Structure 1
Amino acid sequence: MDELDHQRFYASEQYLLPADEVETLRLNAQHRMAVKAFEGKLSLAPLNFKSGDRILESAAGTGIWALEFFEQNRNQGVLLDIECIDISDRQFPRNYPSNVHLSIHSVTELPIEWNGTFSYAHQRLLVSALNDTLWRKAISELFRVLTPGGWVELVEIEGEDLHYDIGPFSTKLQAIFRNVYVNNGHSGALAAYLPPLLKETGFVDVQLESRRLLVGKSGENGYRSDELGKFFSGLKRNVLNGAGFGFVQTGEEYEEIVQGSVSEWDANSDKAWVAIYTILARKP
């Protein structure tokens, strides 16, 4: 790896993206984009909370969703107790309400004392983290810690049916991206994969809503080209670990492809797009 790669922090081998300040800024921008895509709603679940209800946010990252969700409910007179977990605390916020708790845990192995304690669980964007075995563990654990009648909401971006390829650079980048997922045993087709798994685990009322995030220079209709470029730059470790999959040999060559893709998206705004899904399910 080149010197720049050593400056980035990765929390695990399994999770493909970094957990550092650069990624924190990208995640917060992506949060705003995802909320906007779903008409400004932090949740699509049919929720009816009372003060004291416990909420779980899995893969909390920077905690931005939990903080906004807590504030939204507090403004409505409801004080929630929110447990935020992630495999790393590097991106946790420094200041947060006393009713919001931050801890290092994996959704694949939640504390046994959390059995049946959460009214609602929210998890976003683990497409770059879990393979089939881990997804099965995660869904089982989420089912276990929910109260009867509790909802789970999974927000994911499509990682298999891709539409980034609008020029030679982005076509090559899309092919590299597919290889990264296959090489790490990840399934990108979560819209097809997760609903049956939720039902198999015992969830009912499984629903899916999708939106299309367009890619362009302004990001008005979805992803800003350079923000999507930052996502792909974050995958450099895994591209190099895969010996470039026959497309590149060095980090510099990979970055040239990323930057070339950004230029193609800038010049052809809203031709490339990304699918984002919200999948809801209820524990009976």
Structure 2
Amino acid sequence: MAALDATLANYLLTRDSAEKERLDGQHIYLKKFAYDDRLVYDRNVELKAGSSVLDSGTGTVAWLLDLAKEVPEDVELIGVDVSPNNFPDAANAPKNIHLSLASATNLPKEWSNKFDLVNQRFMLSALLAAEWPQAVSEIFRVLKPGGRIQLCELDPRYPLEKPPALERHSEILLQGANKRGLLRYCAKELPGMLRNAGFVDVVDDAKPCPVGKALGEWGVRGATGGPAGAWWNMKDALVEQGTIGSAKEYEDLLEELVKEWDEKGIYLVTRMICATKPLES
């Protein structure tokens, strides 16, 4: 499968073995701190024989591979991404997992009213600001009436009082996102977007995620495989677009970040945003 190259131009992260390893580690970390040690955040969702699940922007397929261990074998599990680079070998995947190339903004037409649950997470470095409403609308279209959406996104507004290196880094990422047309504060906007698309019963939960050696083993994981770990793999994109002067300048800033985290630790905030497609829409 060839990547949907046109949709990759604004992506801030790499698609190499280092990023694949980080994404797999991030899945474990987010499952614990964002999803409350489960894969389906809404406890009222029941996946049974005949149910269908979509993972939009599936990446390494880690969430679906984990979910396949918990649901009946005849639950259909579908993952889509704009690139197959991080897909596992199909021969090693469960038979009920099906992977294909598709953009979150343009899902297959035949999927209307198909899915019981759609999962999507950490697309703030992938979707343009103008694309977010379309992505939400597409998820609404492909959900069955009564189906649920769960979105997991970093909320860069937190911590409210940022130490110096984190403050500077946050400004750099905001500038980088703006240059690409990304919506850095998508977590803030998503509840309203969901309501505008027709969703009801919107839930927006803030989930603190530890980062830094001072906060123990999971803090260390948060600095490497969690939300903050992605920042290392944004270096090339930020230098290429001129948001920061050189790779050395960015690496020095990251070293300052690590010092801050190791001395006191911080809590980044992800948001779990869930909603329902009404039975009559």
Aligned equivalent of 2:170, options 159, 171, 174: 174
Displacement of 1:107 in angstroms is: 0.9
Displacement of 1:230 in angstroms is: 3.8
Displacement of 1:204 in angstroms is: 0.9
Query: What does residue 100 of structure 2 align with?
Result: 103
**What secondary structure does 1:140 align onto?**
helix
Query: What does residue 88 of structure 2 align with?
Result: 93
Partner amino acid for 1:142? Answer: I
TM-score by length of structure 1 reads: 0.86
Query: What does residue 236 of structure 1 align with?
Result: 235
| Distance in 2 of aligned mates of 1:43 and 1:49 | 9
Query: What does residue 152 of structure 1 align with?
Result: 149
What count of residue pairs does the alignment treat as equivalent?
A: 266
Q: 1:48-93: per-residue Cα shift (whole Å, max 9, x none)? A: 222121111101111110011121113xxx6311110011111111
Q: 1:279 to 1:230 in 2, by over 3 A?
A: closer
Contact 1:164 1:273 in 2 (8 A): no
**What secondary structure does 1:56 align onto?**
strand
| Distance in 2 of aligned mates of 1:111 and 1:164 | 43
Displacement of 1:29 in angstroms is: 1.2
Note if 1:277 corresponds to 2:243. Answer: no
Alignment of 1:130-209 (within 5 A): 130-162=127-159, 165-167=162-164, 169-209=165-205
Contact 2:56 2:81 in 1 (8 A): yes
Contact 2:239 2:247 in 1 (8 A): yes
Contact 2:187 2:271 in 1 (8 A): yes
Aligned equivalent of 1:120, options 117, 120, 131: 117
| Distance in 1 of aligned mates of 2:161 and 2:83 | 30
Q: 1:136-193: per-residue Cα shift (whole Å, max 9, x none)? A: 11011111111111111111111344558424x3332222122112222222323331
Unaligned 5+ residue runs, structure 1? 1-9
TM-score by length of structure 2 reads: 0.87
Aligned equivalent of 1:58, options 44, 56, 59: 56
Contact 1:225 1:266 in 2 (8 A): no
Partner amino acid for 1:234? Answer: N
Displacement of 1:233 in angstroms is: 1.8
Equivalent pairs: percent with the same residue?
Answer: 30
| Distance in 2 of aligned mates of 1:50 and 1:67 | 17
Q: 1:226 to 1:15 in 2, by over 3 A?
A: same
Unaligned 5+ residue runs, structure 2? 1-5
Contact 1:62 1:91 in 2 (8 A): yes
Q: 1:190 to 1:223 in 2, by over 3 A?
A: farther
Contact 2:155 2:188 in 1 (8 A): no
